Amino acid sequence: MKDLKLKCVSWQLSENQKDHESEGLSSKHLVVRRGRPFKITLFFKDEPFSPLMDSLVFSAQLGELYVQFPLTFSRHVSAFKWGGQILSENSWSQSLRVLIFTPPNAPLGLYNLQLHIKSQAQQHSYALGNLILLFNPWCSTDEVHLSHADQREEYVKNDSGILFMGTPDNLLPRTWEFGQYEEGILETCLKILDMSPQHSKNSQKDNLCRSNAVYLSRVVCAMINCEDDRGVLKGNWSGDFSRGVSPSQWTGSADILKCWERSQCRPVLYGQCWVFAAVMCTVMRALGIPSRVVTNFNSAHDTNANLIIEEFYSETGEKLQLSKESIWNYHVWLECWMSRPDIGSEFSGWQVLDPTPQEKSGGIFCCGPCPVKAIREKRVDLFYDVPFVYAEVNASVYTAIVKNNQVVHQSLDANRVGSLVCTKGVNSYLAQDLTAYYKNPHKTPRRNSSLHAGRFKNSTKEARSMSVSLQLDKVPVAGQSISFSVTVVNNCGTSRRLKEHINAQMKEYSHNLLETFWEASNMIKLGPYEALTIEHWIDPSQYEQVLRDDGLVNLAVVIKDEVTLERKLASEEFNITMPWISIQVEDESNIVVNKAHSAILVFHNPFWVPIDGVLTVCGSGLIQGKVQSKVYQLQPGEKREQAVNFIPQMPGTKVLQASLEFKDSPLVLRGFKSVLVRAT
């Protein structure tokens, strides 16, 4: 009596993972993308397969979900459901080449594939092993389909990127290793899903819902922070990072995800907005959802939904923290590409997702997916969190000078918030301007400004009588003087006796202000309709000791008429640029896999005092882990060179990055170099 038994199975890993654009994502499992068939070969023991006497049925299991499908010779297997097709021309064979179809809306996850053989009176079942099924932006019927090949390369496969910080007029690019190809990262991303409250509450329902990118993105968004669950990162904006790692010291996602997994899912200390967004970008790219990190400059946090952020200054130009609302110099979030059948296909495309825990959405700390198109059109009736994100890019700024708790000057600026929204360009390290996708210049926001309406009625005449502006002469560079000018214009026909107060404060990007480090006062006389420009300089010795990593400064001038007591304010927030570490790769045009190469790092001390520090070099796919060396007594103005060796592990465009962290200081010198690695 015929008894067909399975000997072994070949997963044809190399062919499948090349065909599914999943090379390098896992060394433990076959990784395929839904909506595209994959091949395996079955090898039988003593007897060959007979289509007349043997029947083969596969089963694919995800948790408690279970689907069975027969193996047939039919060439009409549906592409929208699980199915199996025999490819072997010789049906009487001890090996069969098989094509397995997965639907483009199948749930994502780690599947167990089994084979059931029925041969006359005998039946056998075999566990073939596990495979990981991902979203498929290459598939036209997948809800995350992205039609442009260069965008798929950038937003799904690229394992390194640029995060933009600083100010709109002086962008500071910071490299980040997304690291989705690092060993074990894909499995850790799946574990994040399994640790979610949704999975713990009802694993079967959660597994079924993982077919939907909107649902999945909200689960991941909430799990990147740890406020409601056993999430990945703990946020900290206090300035005290003694119990963990300062957010500015992270250079990539893999270290964070590995630390979370090794610690049995305890939150990693610490993250801030760009860390939260970059780690989520890694998870989403690993799972197959196109993603990019986006920076919104002058990002508003509107707590009372009136689209007005209040800021207050003293008479001497010192910025005061009197409001619960805030404007961050920059805020970093994520955009993910997906269709939105839940709210209408016209809102498909890029969606804002923000894992930084600011406000709750549906009772948990997450934000989005919020359609970028809905933000531009102010469709605050749509899911998810459109009003909050709309305010982040469209709120107005009410600024007041206060004396003895009384407002003595006020102004309203409708253009400052959301002044630039940008991301890394495709195949470029330059910023791509996304502002026009968020802000509609033809639609004026309706603002609940009744709180300030009475005050502004009497300020029009005052605003016209004198004007004040503040202008930086050049982009400030560490170790050099900050030079700027104040221009005062008398718009009336009488002479004026004015007092100038100028104040400079270091600040953190999240609006927290530090103490004043420089101030000046001057008396000014202006004739009728006269204009005067006053030059100022701040010596580097006056800011070096208080300079922060971002180098952000709030500079403000208040001009007061000594007779009429009229006051005018002008302010500017800017960043002091740190010098770059130069990286020169030897024989740059001949970098190949598994061959030793070297690079020379060049850096110098821009300050007036000697510095010590630690030089760190890393690069996903170029260096295993990190290479660190101590730097001792780098004298003022001294330049040094440091050699580093690396052995590329995989082909493609990789990024070598370096950072020099100063001892007993928050300052860091950074640099990066793009390296093209060839297979041979």
Catalytic (active-site) positions: 273, 331, 354
Token pair recorded at residue 675 = 């390296």
Q: Is 172:244 a contact under the CB 8 Å cutoff?
A: no
**Rounded-to-integer distance, Cα 613 and Cα 617, Å:** 13
Is it true that the peptide bond before 371 is cis, omega within 30 degrees of 0?
Answer: no
Contacts with 133 (C-beta within 8 Å, 6 or more apart), sequence order = 32, 33, 34, 102, 106, 107, 108, 109, 111
In angstroms, what CA-CA distances link 518 with 399, 512, 543, 546?
A: 22, 17, 8, 11
- Residue 333: left (phi > 0), alpha (psi -120 to 50), or beta? beta
Q: Is 619:675 a contact under the CB 8 Å cutoff?
A: yes
**Rounded-to-integer distance, Cα 295 and Cα 329, Å:** 10
Cα torsion angle, 534, 540, 542, 543, sign: positive
Is it true that the peptide bond before 398 is cis, omega within 30 degrees of 0?
Answer: no
Residue type, 546: V
Residue 458 phi, psi (nearest 5):
-100, 5
State whether residue 425 is helix, strand or coil.
coil
**DSSP state string for 184-210:** THHHHHHHHHHTSHHHHH-HHHHHHHT
Q: Is 258:318 a contact under the CB 8 Å cutoff?
A: no
Residue 23 phi, psi (nearest 5):
-60, 135
Contacts with 126 (C-beta within 8 Å, 6 or more apart), sequence order = 6, 114, 115, 116, 117
Q: Is 102:58 a contact under the CB 8 Å cutoff?
A: no
Q: Which of 127, 104, 130 is nearest to 186 (CA)?
A: 130
Run of H or E residues at 168: none
Residue type, 426: V
**Rounded-to-integer distance, Cα 422 and Cα 436, Å:** 10
Cα torsion angle, 576, 579, 585, 589, sign: positive
